Structures are given as structure tokens and as C-alpha cells.
Homo-oligomer: A and B are copies of this chain.
Amino acid sequence: MPASPDLILLSPAPLDCSAAVAFVTDPAAGAIDVFLGTTRAERNTAGQELTALDYEAYVDMATNQMRDLATRARAKWPICRLALLHRTGRVAVGEPSVVIAVSTPHRADSFAACKFLIDTLKVEVTIWKKELWHDGGATWVHPKTT
């Protein structure tokens, strides 16, 4: 496989937003958009509070899909640099599970590309989240549209 110009990472380590911004910084870019998806505090119908989300991935396939997403975004917008990072494992409330950074010459493209990447990642890439509740309960999140 040819070396990718993009930073694509699916990892159990905490995501480093600064490293993503540094990676996409480019003299040819006038705009950088960065999206972070973070674990939001929730309470379930039993009154339990969410403590974390636990992410599982089909790592080989998901990594290929993330590379393919980057290629599709580059075909649609004039992207200078792109970083697409996703966690596996346990992500506590307030922490990021996904960081996407895109630099482009002009700002409208950075917003559009970043939005495309997160919207498409969420419906295509083989990653699943499980909600971990304060009482030790756990619930897989599987949207009922396959």
C-alpha cells in the first residue's frame, strides 16, 4: 500500500488534539477545522449515570475504511492535510473518542470536509460503542438501521 499523506489512527491511547492540529498545519492552508466527539454525560431510564463509553473496532477493516474516507474527502475538496483519529477502549465522560482535523486553502471547504468525515464515519466504519453505567451495567449502542 502506498504511504498515505494523511494521519490515520485507531488506537487505545488518549487522542492528542494538538498533535492533529500540528499535523494538518500547512503554509498553503488558510483554514483548519477540527472536530472532537466527546463522551456526553447521560442518565439511563433506570436513573443510572454514564461513566464511560467503551469502543470496540474491527481494526483491520476500520483502518482501511478510515483511509478510504480520507481519499474520498480529498476527491471532493482541495484538502492540504488531514488527520482522522479514533479511540478504542474506555473513553470517560468529557474525553474525546474521535478527532478529525482538515486544512484547506479556504474555510468553507474545511467545514464541509470535516462534517463529511464525521457523518460518514459514524454510519460506515466498523466501530461500536458500549455504554458503561455507574451500577456496572453495560449497553451496546446499535442504531436500528443496518
Question: Interface size for chain A: under 10, 10 to 19, 20 to 34, or 35 or more residues?
Answer: 20 to 34
Of B18, B31, B115, the residue contacting A17 (CB under 8 A) is B18
Residues 1-59 (chain A) with a chain B CB within 8 angstroms = 17-18, 21, 25-41
Which of B28, B31, B36, B115 is within 8 Å of A36, CB to CB?
B31
Instruction: Tell me the dominant secondary structure on chain A's binding face.
Output: mixed
Whether a CB of chain B sits under 8 angstroms from the CB of A78 is no
Instruction: Determine the distance from Cα of A126 to Cα of B103 in the docked complex, in whole angstroms.
Output: 26
Known: A17-B21, A26-B94, A93-B27. A32 touches B35 (CB 8 A): yes
Query: Does A89 touch B at the CB level, under 8 Å?
Result: no
Given contacts A31-B36, A34-B34, A94-B26, contact A107 B111 (CB under 8 A): no
